[in-house]
Structure 1
Amino acid sequence: MDRIDHKIITLLAEDCRRSLADIGAGVNLSPSAVNERIRRLTASGAIRRFTVEADPEALGLPVTAFIWVALAPDSDEAAFRSFAQTRPEISECHHVTGPWSYLLKIHSPSLAGIEAFLSTLKERRFLARSETMIALSSPVDPGFSPRGDL
């Protein structure tokens, strides 16, 4: 990737609906040249997807929580990862170092929704232990990319 590819990615990250002509004006390339670079960046995996950032409150999900998860010694980590990829309330899942296995960021309609989510983790026998922190506000937040039906 060269400096132009980086600039194209930056422009798309700011607004993925930006026109090829507008991007081209920003990097001094024709729209067709920009389109070819975007196609190449997507094929290489440098651009993984184009998405919409939505306001969780507008979607009826005003509660944001971070959950530290220590997997149970006998749990299936691959099954946990598959579970995390399919749960619409999980917006982020990070495998981390230290005493925890994963850090999850979830959006929920209520505190009861968080409790229900934790119950599901327990029922599936993923948890050795967990710690949940509720976000009071998010002064810097890139938004929320909904996955599936919420």
Structure 2
Amino acid sequence: MDNLDRGIIDLLRQNARASYGDIGVEVGLSASAVKRRVDRLVADKVIRGFTVQVDPNVDGMQTEAYVELFCRGTVAPDELRRILQGVPEVVDAGTVTGSADAIVRIRSRDIPSLEAALEKVRIAPNVDHTRSAIILSKLVNRSGD
């Protein structure tokens, strides 16, 4: 990967529907050269997919919380993944250092549905407890969601 590839990726992150010609103008390549590079980046699995990002305020999923997840004993990341993938309201999660075992981001329609999603996480056999913080306003959001 070189600086041209990074520039193409940056532009695709901003707008995955940008034309190869528009990207080419920005990075100084022809549309066909951009297409070849994008095809290679996809084939090499550098670009793993293209997606749609829907405004949570429009689709009714504007209630969000960060949840610290604390487990009983040692729980493998694959087990945490299995638990969390079963909760559709979980939009992001990762294991972390510190006292919590994982940080989970949950998005739901409202507080009652947030509570229901939290309960799905809490009843998993290896989960001891959770600690939640509801997001009041977003200050920085570079991921687009």
Q: For CA contacts below 8 A with separation 6 or more, give which structure has more relative contact order.
A: 1
- Once the two structures are TM-superposed, the CA of residue 87 in structure 1 deviates from its matched residue by 3.2
For 2:144, the equivalent position in structure 1 comes to: 143
What is the CA deviation profile of residues 7-65 of structure 1, one whole-angstrom value per residue up to 9, with x for unaligned ones?
00011111110001111111221212111111111222221221122111211112110
Instruction: For 1:143 and 1:33, locate their aligned partners in 2 and report how far apart those are by CA, in whole Å.
Output: 27
Please say if residues 11 and 23 of structure 2, whose CA atoms lie closer than 8 Å, have aligned partners that are also in contact. Answer: yes
For 2:109, the equivalent position in structure 1 comes to: 109
**Length-normalised TM-score, structure 1:** 0.86
For 1:70, the equivalent position in structure 2 comes to: 70
**Length-normalised TM-score, structure 2:** 0.89
1:46 aligns with 2:46: yes
Per the alignment, do residues 107 and 43 of structure 1 end up closer, same or farther by CA in structure 2, a change over 3 Å counting?
same
Aligned residues: 144
Instruction: For 2:111 and 2:125, locate their aligned partners in 1 and report how far apart those are by CA, in whole Å.
Output: 21
Please say if residues 121 and 127 of structure 1, whose CA atoms lie closer than 8 Å, have aligned partners that are also in contact. Answer: yes
The runs of at least 4 consecutive aligned structure 1 residues that moved more than 4 Å come to 74-77
What is the CA deviation profile of residues 100-127 of structure 1, one whole-angstrom value per residue up to 9, with x for unaligned ones?
1111111111111121112112222231
Letter in 2 for 1:91: V
- Once the two structures are TM-superposed, the CA of residue 75 in structure 1 deviates from its matched residue by 5.2
Unmatched segments (≥5 aa) in structure 2: none
